[in-house]
Structure 1
Amino acid sequence: MDEAVARSLFHLFQGATLDFLTTGKTQRCEQSIKAFLAGLRSPNIL
């Protein structure tokens, strides 16, 4: 589970960084991160 979470975090932040660099907007990045964290807190994950 730790490796899967680490890979997911890497891709999440990589995507958020690319979003920010290409659009200059942080709102979508924040939404993606919040959705990911909510998923981690879900009792049904892995």
Structure 2
Amino acid sequence: MLRTIMIGSRIMAQGQYVKTLTDGRMVLRVDGRLMVGHPVTQDKAA
């Protein structure tokens, strides 16, 4: 399943969902790399 995360204040990444960390951040696999950030909800994406 593809998910989108925010890395910093202006950078977004989209990739395959791996897991959710205890602090609420999400881990995604993007081009073979693991990226960590805060999940983007529909209200933030609009």
Q: Which has the higher helix share?
A: 1
Fold equivalence (TM over 0.5): no
The structure with the larger Rg is 1
Instruction: Please give the TM-score of this superposition, normalised by the length of structure 1.
Output: 0.24
